Amino acid sequence: MPLTAKDVAEITRLLEESSFDELYLELDGMKLSLRRGSAAPDTAVAHAPAQPSASPAPAAPSPVTQRPHAVAIGDPDVADVPAPLLGTFYRAPKPGAAPFVEVDSVVEEDTIIGIIEVMKLMNTVRAGAKGRVTEILARDGVLVEYGETLLRISKTG
């Protein structure tokens, strides 16, 4: 029985709520590998057929467990928050709801700043730095690239 997108979302939710940093699951020729936290870079391979003599399938970004690390570029007091994966960026939890953050919002490293949808899976994006949001670069409902700056945070408050 193949894993559905709902199954993968539930597995990643359970991983995020657990104390584990890594999960590897192989079921009926399907492979799923998830890593989070301080473990190696997050990766997931879903619905990849197992091939004993072939090299493993290339890894894709992990749903839900992505924790971007804000990057200071130029000014050490300003952190750029990059998109942890490619997908459609949403600033609010659902259409018509208030955005997670606005300019001048105070954020912590674990503050959710948006959602990136990839293949019908909603992946939360966290600030990765503590400070005040100074600029929001990514527009709501628009495709963002991996590494693209979503917003900027002033670490001086």
**DSSP letter string over 30-98?**
EEEEEE-TTSSSP-B--SPPP-TTSPPPPPBPPSS------EE-SSTTEEEEE-SSSEEEESSSSTTSP
| Domain co-membership, 79 together with 57 | no
User: What pLDDT sits at residue 60?
Assistant: 42
Average pLDDT rounded to a whole number, residues 41-66: 40
pLDDT, greater one: 51 or 154: 154
The count of domains in the chain is 2
- Residue 44: CB atoms within 10 A of its CB come to 25
The reply to whether 83 and 140 lie within a common domain is yes
Mean pLDDT along residues 137-155 = 93
CA 48, CA 55: separation in Å to the nearest integer? Answer: 11
Give the least confident one: 52-56, 67-71, 89-93: 52-56
Model-wide pTM > 0.85: no
**Enclosing domain of residue 30:** 1-62
Does the pLDDT at position 109 exceed 80?
yes
* Judgement on whether residues 58 and 75 belong to the same structural domain of the protein: no
Residues 52 and 96 occupy one common structural domain: no
At residue 32, the pLDDT reads 73
Q: Where a domain ends, among 62, 86, 109?
A: 62
pLDDT band (50, 70, 90) for residue 66: very low
Q: Which of 103, 83, 18, 8 is nearest to 48 (CA)?
A: 8
What is the spatial distance between Cα 114 and Cα 140, in angstroms, rounded to a whole number? 9
Query: Are 58 and 97 in the same domain?
Result: no
Same domain, 85 and 140: yes
pLDDT value of residue 89: 95
Q: Are residues 47 and 86 in the same domain?
A: no
Pair 85, 136 in one domain = yes
Domain endpoint, select from 11, 33, 62: 62
The model's confidence at residue 74, banded by pLDDT at 50, 70 and 90, is low
- How far apart are alpha carbons 34 and 61 in whole angstroms? 9
Same domain, 78 and 132: yes
